[in-house]
Amino acid sequence: MSGNILGTAFRLVSFGASHDPAIGGVVEGCPAGLKLDLAAVQAELDRRRPGSTPLGTARRESDTVEILSGLLDGTTLGTPIAFLIRNTDARPQDYDHLKDTYRPGHADLTWEQKYGLRDHRGGGRSSARETAVRVAAGAIARQLLAASGIRVSAWVSGVGDVRLDRPHTELDLAAVWKSDVRCPDGDAAARMTALIEQVRAEGDSVGGLVSCAATGVPAGLGEPVFDKLHADLGKAMLSINAVKGFQVGSGFAAAAMRGSVHNDAYMNAPEGIRTATNRSGGVQGGISNGEDIVFDVAFKPASTLMREQASVDRTGRAVTLEGKGRHDPCVVPRAVPVVEAMTCLVLADHLLRQRMARL
């Protein structure tokens, strides 16, 4: 299998590369009768597109989505929804110096080892440019989820050593998109922004964290044993460029806890059974328990630096590289809509699968 398909009941097939004429996708399994708000789909792409924040890359793409099939008067037909996003600001000549040279930290060498050749123009299909396809498909999935009362929100909770350690219930998540760094806390956002500007001036890069909360998720989503809900969420997040870690609920902190502390105690609530602490992050036994699903995604520093780095060429000869082109000094601000999109795709898939689970 090619690895370009995500999902079972609600599926995305993705195609295209950074400097191809276009990128795009096909969404299969979206039920008929969903009135699709195309302006809302475009709005989500606008949040991810290059140039959407002054803290990111200087590449400028409109990321205008073209729907090619699957709709009639804005309503889904139940047939495949094909869409296209044209690349209008590609500069492949910026990468001519990389035809025979491998960039440290990138997929250049491993891609060539797998396929015997590679697209050196911006990384080809390994480029984060491909994530625009995920955002467009995720925007469709989000509207399907909204019909069932499910909402998904993500935000930047860390840049370098600057952290925002407050639960989502205490944050104004509507403020995320008012911040260039996509952090809803003004003080933390200012410190994150200052750090990104500092590393940009140094020709360096910095990593960070994106946190996500899905609310209104009904109990019962998830397919044991191999398609546990948190397993599919983890796979989806780890498939995003530059992601190095995923944790749900208490995550790695659980390794230092005792069961008497970690177990979520059940309690009654007007809307049903709830837990007091939600250390499980809304998933138990691989199945949603009706609580908010909460998780964190760790992103490494971008590998392209505007400073010299030691590397090798195809013959094994030592070379010195200095980054060219247009790159993000910190990827997490533009990763927020990607995390949301992947969450929506996984939840939409499991929502439809659950409808087939029992009479």
359: in domain: no
- CATH of residue 259: 3.60.150.10
pLDDT-based confidence at 268, cuts 50/70/90? confident
Taking the CA atoms of 310, 314, 317 and 322 in sequence, report the sign of the dihedral they define.
Answer: negative
Q: Which residue has the higher pLDDT, 322 or 12?
A: 12
Transcribe 76-131 into DSSP letters: E-SS-EEEEEE--S--GGGGGGGTTEEPTTSSHHHHHHHHS----STTGGGSGGGH
Residue 8's pLDDT is what?
97
Tokens for 174, please give them. 């509507």
Predicted pLDDT at 60: 66
Structure tokens at 38: 């195309």
Q: Is residue 303 part of a domain?
A: yes
As for how many domains the chain has, the answer is 1
Give the residue among 110, 343, 90, 337 at the shortest CA–CA distance from 221: 343
Domain span at residue 143 reads: 5-354
Q: Which residues pair with 16 in a beta bridge?
A: 23
| 310 part of a folded domain | yes
pLDDT tens readout for residues 120-163 = 887 778 888 999 999 999 999 999 999 999 999 999 999 999 99
Q: Is residue 196 part of a domain?
A: yes
The fraction of the chain above a pLDDT of 90, given in percent, is: 70
Question: What number is the average pLDDT over the span 57-74?
Answer: 87
352 vs 103 pLDDT, higher one: 352
pLDDT tens track for 235-261: 999 999 999 999 999 999 999 999 999
Residue 330 domain-assigned (yes or no): yes
What pLDDT does 269 receive? 67
pLDDT in tens, 310-332: 888 888 888 887 766 567 899 99
Q: What is the pLDDT of residues 162-195, one digit of tens each?
A: 999 999 999 999 999 999 999 999 999 999 999 9
What is the model's pLDDT at position 288?
96
